[in-house]
Structure 1
Amino acid sequence: MSVRVQPITRDEHLAFVAGRPSASHTQVPSWGEVKPDWEAESLGWFDGAGQLVGAGLVLLRPLPGPRLPGLPRHFAYLPEGPLLDWHEPGLERLLEPMLTYLKGRGAFAVRMGPPVVVRRWSAETVKAAIADPAARRLRDVRATSYETRAGRVADVLRHMGWRETPAGEDGFAAGQPRHVFQVPFAGRSLEEIHDGLNQQWRRNIKKAEKAGVKVVRGDLSDLPVFHELYTETAERDGFLPRPLPYFQRMWNALTAEHPDRMRLYLAYHDGEVLAAATMLTVGDHVWYSYGASTARRREVQPSSAVQWRMMSDAHELGAAVYDLRGITDTLEESSPLLGLLRFKVGTGGEAVEYLGEWDHPLNRLLYKGFSLYLSRR
C-alpha cells in the first residue's frame, strides 16, 4: 500500500475525527491554538486511491537560539496521536512517510504518543495493590486484561528506530500521561454508574446535596473565579499553575470549534464558589481536565458535587468513557500522588496503560542537545 502524507484543511481534519470511535482532545485542530509557542499543522495520510486513511495534529517547536543555515530547526510533536489504524499490518508504511514529510519541514526529531492501550487494571485490583505492602509499582501488578497486539506495535517502533520516552520517578512522563484512570460509560445507565462508585464517593455526593451545594455551568467570564481557586489549589498541592490567559485561550479556541468542546462547572454554597472544574469532549470521549477548590468549607463536599454533575452531563451527552486523566504508577505510601489515585479509584473505573510517548531522532546531535536543554529547564 502506497501512502503519502501531506497537509490537510481544518474541515478535512475535523471530518476525519468525527468518523473515528475515539480521538484525543490534543489531536483536534483547535488544540494548536492553545499552544502559541508551537506552529501547528493538520496532516493527512492518503492511500493509493486518494482516500484519507489517517490524520494528525503536529506541533512544531523551533530550537532556541539563532538559526543556522542548512540545519533542521524544529522538534515535531504529535500528542496522543496520530490517528491511524495502529494494528494494521505494515504499520511502517504509515509512519515512514510521516518521518519523510516532517524531515522536509525541518524537523530534527519527532515525538508521538500512539493511542494504543497495553493493559487495564480494575478498581478492585488497584485497591488491593495499594493495600499490599509488597506492591511498589502498578506496572508490577498483574493486570485484569491485556491488549496482546500492543506488543507488536512496540516491536515495529523499535525496529524503525523509535525510542520510548522514559517516565519520571512518579510514573509521569514529560508529555501526556502513560497511565490514566477511566470510567466506562458505554451500555450503562446513570444509576449503574452511581452504584459503581465506592461508599465514600456516594456519601460525599449525598452530603453535598443535603448541604445545598449547587453546581452550575460557567462561561468565559467565570474563568477568573476558577483560576483563583486553581491557584490556591496549586499552592496547597505544590504544583506550578498555568496562567489565566492559558485557560482563556483554551476556552476561546475549543468552544469556537465546537460549543461543547470545553465546559466549566462551578460549585456554589451560600453564594460563594468553593470548587470548579473544566470538562473536555471529543465525540464520545469526555475528560475531567482541570480541578480547583478552596480549603474553606470542605465538609460540604463541593468537589464531589462538581464531579457528579460532570459525570451526569457526560452520560447525557452519550459518553462512552469518562476519563479522569493521569495517575501515578507508584503505589508507595510515601508518594504525595497516592491520594489522587485513591480518589480516582473510588469511581469504580479502571486504570489504563497506554503505549506511552516515543521519539525518533532525525538528527542525533541536535536531538541530544535538545534533550539536554529540556532536562535543565
Structure 2
Amino acid sequence: MTAALRLRTITRAEHLAFVGSRPSVSHMQVPSWGDVKPDWRAESLGWCDGDGRIVGAGLVLLRALPKVKRYLAYLPEGPVIDWHDPALERWLDPLLAYLKGRGAFTVKMGPPVVVRRWSAEAVKEAIADPAARRLRDAGATSEEPRALELGDRLRRMGWRRAAGGGEEGFAAGQPRYVFQVPFAGRPLDDIQRGLNQQWRRNVKKAEKAGVKVVRGGYEDLPAFYTLYAETAERDRFIARPLSYFQRMWTALTTEHPDRMRLYLAHHEGEVLAAATMLTVGRHVWYSYGASTSRRREVQPNNAIQWRMMSDAHELGAAVYDFRGITDTLEESDHLLGLLRFKVGTGGEAVEYLGEWDFPVNRLLHKAFDVYMARRAS
C-alpha cells in the first residue's frame, strides 16, 4: 500500500529550500510570485512524507468572488509534485480537502507536464502547409504517452480541462503552447549556429550599427514602460500599470538578486527595445518585451534576445523559454509573425497538458463561468 502524504502550510524558507532542490520550477511557483499579485491571497503548501520531509510544494493564490466569501484557488504552472505517481490521489485529494476548507469553490491548476514537442523545422513546415490550421494538425517530433495518460486520469478524478483565458482579473490562465530553446550540454557557439540565417544576419547588423545592450535596474523601469505602453497600443493588448513591474522587480529580486533582470537596447542615445528575464534554477524565461517602431532597421530586438540568451547560458541555463506562442497557423493571425520570430532561434514548440479545474461547488463554478463569459464578450 502506498504511504499517505500530509499537506500543510509551509514557511517561505521551507518553500525556497524545496525549490532550490529541483532543477526546474516555474517562476509562478516561488513564494515571491504571491507578492507580485496583491489582489490574491498567497499561501505556500507542502506535501510531507511519513518522516515529515517535504516532497512536493505549491504556491496557491486565492481570490474572493465579488460579494461572496468563496474563493477561486489557483496554482499557476503547479503544483510541483510527482505527476506520474500511480497513486496520484494521495497528492491531489489532500489539496482539494484543504482548499475546500479554505472556502474554494473551484481549484485551478496547471500541471507542468509536457505532452508534445515540435522541432523548429516541423513548425516551419506546418506554417507552410495550407492544410495545417493549428499546430496540432502537424505531426509532433516527439510525444509523451504518460502525459496523455495523466489527462485521462485527471478526468476520471473529476477534473476538467479549463477554458482558455488571459491572466487579467479572474481570467487566470497560462499558455498551453510555448517556445523553448534547449541549452543543456550545448556550447554557446552551437546555440548560435542553431539560429537561422536571418537571425544571425540581424544580430550582426545590430552590432555593426552600434546597438548596445545593457542591464538595467529598478530606476530604468520607467524607460522600459514607455516602450511597453507603445507596444501595447501597437499590438492591441491591455498594458499593465508601471506599478506592477515595480512591484514585480522588488518582490523577485528581494527573494533572489538574479530572479529578475532588465535589459535595454540603446542606439545613438535612445532606448529602442527593452525586455525582462526571469530565472529559477536552470530554467530561464523571456518574460516581457517592448520596442519602439522607430529605427527597426538596426534590429534591436534580435540584439537584446541574443544578449539575454548568452547571459542565460552563462548562468548555466538548461532551457531558454520564450513563453507563449499561438497554436493557430492562419496567416490572418497577427501572432503568427511572433511565432516566426521565435522559430528563427532553432528551438522547439512545446505543448503542456494545459490548465485543469475542479469544481468544488458546481453551482458557483457554473455561475463563475457565465460571469467570465460575459466579461469576455
TM range (shorter): over 0.9
What letter matches 2:85 in structure 1?
A: E
What letter matches 1:362 in structure 2?
A: V
Taking only the aligned residue pairs, the percentage that are identical comes to 76
Matched ranges for 1:182-331 at <5 A: 182-331=180-329
CA contact 2:62–2:71 (8 Å) conserved in 1: yes
SS in 2 for 1:30: helix
> Per the alignment, do residues 54 and 66 of structure 1 end up closer, same or farther by CA in structure 2, a change over 3 Å counting?
closer
Partner residue of 2:67 out of 59, 65, 68: 65
RMSD: 1.2
Q: In the alignment, what sits opposite 1:38? A: 40
Aligned residues: 369
Once the two structures are TM-superposed, the CA of residue 66 in structure 1 deviates from its matched residue by: 4.8
Q: In the alignment, what sits opposite 2:18? A: 16
CA distance in 2, matches of 1:144, 1:318: 26
SS in 2 for 1:22: coil
CA contact 1:123–1:345 (8 Å) conserved in 2: yes
Q: Does 1:116 align with 2:113?
A: yes
Once the two structures are TM-superposed, the CA of residue 270 in structure 1 deviates from its matched residue by: 0.6
Post-superposition Cα deviations, 1:273-326, rounded to whole Å, max 9, x if no partner, equal 010000000000000000000011111111111000000000000000000000
Matched ranges for 1:329-340 at <5 A: 329-340=327-338
CA distance in 2, matches of 1:91, 1:373: 32
Matched ranges for 1:56-205 at <5 A: 56-67=58-69, 73-167=70-164, 175-205=173-203
SS in 1 for 2:153: helix
Normalised to the residue count of structure 2, the TM-score between the two structures is 0.96
CA distance in 1, matches of 2:88, 2:137: 29
Once the two structures are TM-superposed, the CA of residue 370 in structure 1 deviates from its matched residue by: 1.4
Normalised to the residue count of structure 1, the TM-score between the two structures is 0.96
Partner residue of 2:366 out of 335, 360, 368: 368
Once the two structures are TM-superposed, the CA of residue 369 in structure 1 deviates from its matched residue by: 1.1
CA distance in 1, matches of 2:244, 2:228: 13
CA contact 2:119–2:347 (8 Å) conserved in 1: yes
CA distance in 2, matches of 1:323, 1:31: 18
Once the two structures are TM-superposed, the CA of residue 174 in structure 1 deviates from its matched residue by: 5.4
Q: Which runs of 5+ in 2 are unaligned?
A: 166-170
> Per the alignment, do residues 307 and 366 of structure 1 end up closer, same or farther by CA in structure 2, a change over 3 Å counting?
same
Once the two structures are TM-superposed, the CA of residue 372 in structure 1 deviates from its matched residue by: 1.6
Once the two structures are TM-superposed, the CA of residue 148 in structure 1 deviates from its matched residue by: 1.1
CA distance in 1, matches of 2:331, 2:172: 23
CA distance in 1, matches of 2:68, 2:116: 44
Once the two structures are TM-superposed, the CA of residue 167 in structure 1 deviates from its matched residue by: 3.4
CA contact 1:92–1:156 (8 Å) conserved in 2: no
Once the two structures are TM-superposed, the CA of residue 335 in structure 1 deviates from its matched residue by: 0.7
CA contact 1:261–1:280 (8 Å) conserved in 2: yes
CA distance in 2, matches of 1:101, 1:166: 24
What letter matches 1:299 in structure 2?
A: E
CA distance in 1, matches of 2:106, 2:117: 31
> Per the alignment, do residues 334 and 174 of structure 1 end up closer, same or farther by CA in structure 2, a change over 3 Å counting?
farther
Post-superposition Cα deviations, 1:29-78, rounded to whole Å, max 9, x if no partner, equal 000000000000000001222121100000000011254xxxxx111000
What letter matches 1:239 in structure 2?
A: F
Once the two structures are TM-superposed, the CA of residue 21 in structure 1 deviates from its matched residue by: 1.7
Post-superposition Cα deviations, 1:204-244, rounded to whole Å, max 9, x if no partner, equal 00000000000000000000000000000111111111110
